[in-house]
Amino acid sequence: MTETRAPALPVVWRPRTTRVVAYATAGVIVLGMVVLAVVVAPQFKVFDRILMVGFGLFLAWILHMLARCRVVADAAGLTVVNAFRTRRLEWAEVVDVTMGPGEPWPALDLADGTSLGAMGINGAEKALAARQVEQLRGLLVEHAEAPDR
């Protein structure tokens, strides 16, 4: 097993492809709904047109929530920002990080016996995700283990 050097703190891991696709899709949806609201048949009233644009903005918000996912490591621990929940973890709370082939994101095994998905590292970006998981493992080795007394 090769030993991966842990990156300097603080470090932020974000999925590249997910962000590009989500924000591009959100832009197309909002633009499409605005155009539709302008050119739609006259029987649609102003309220209907506003609802169309509002629906496009709602879809863009959902896509933004997916694109904002990230994992932030600093001296105190990890901040895992998933689509609809953010969780702050101290280094001692994280036991291991695992990501098998084909998994969408890694799982953080926690000291309380539960696990937490880290959507900020995207399994679809295979080489990048593998490198990011190894960097996170290196940080766990550096920061999570109890010091020798």
Is residue 1 a part of any domain in this protein?
no
| Model pLDDT, residue 145 | 62
Residues 75 and 122 placed together within one structural domain of the fold: yes
Residues 136 and 80 placed together within one structural domain of the fold: yes
The share of the chain scoring above pLDDT 70, in percent, equals 93
The pTM is what?
0.84
Domain extent, residue 83, equals 70-143
Residues 74 and 129 placed together within one structural domain of the fold: yes
- 31, two tokens: 């633009």
| Model pLDDT, residue 1 | 46
∠ Cα 13 19 23 (to 5°): 155
Contacts by 85-93 with C-beta closer than 8 Å and gap 24+? Answer: 87/116, 89/116, 91/140, 91/143, 91/144, 92/144, 92/146
Is residue 50 a part of any domain in this protein?
yes
pLDDT at residue 149 is higher than 50 = no
Average pLDDT for 79-96: 96
Give the alpha-carbon dihedral of 135, 138, 139, 142, to 10 degrees.
-160
CA distance 62 to 101: 27
pLDDT at residue 20 is higher than 50 = yes
Number of domains in the chain: 2
Is residue 105 a part of any domain in this protein?
yes
- The residue among 31, 49, 67 that closes a domain is 67
- Contact call for residues 59 and 71 (beta carbons, < 8 A): no
Residues 138 and 76 placed together within one structural domain of the fold: yes
Residues 77 and 130 placed together within one structural domain of the fold: yes
Is residue 137 a part of any domain in this protein?
yes
Residues 56 and 31 placed together within one structural domain of the fold: yes
The angle that helices 16-39 and 46-67 make with each other, rounded to 10 degrees, is 180
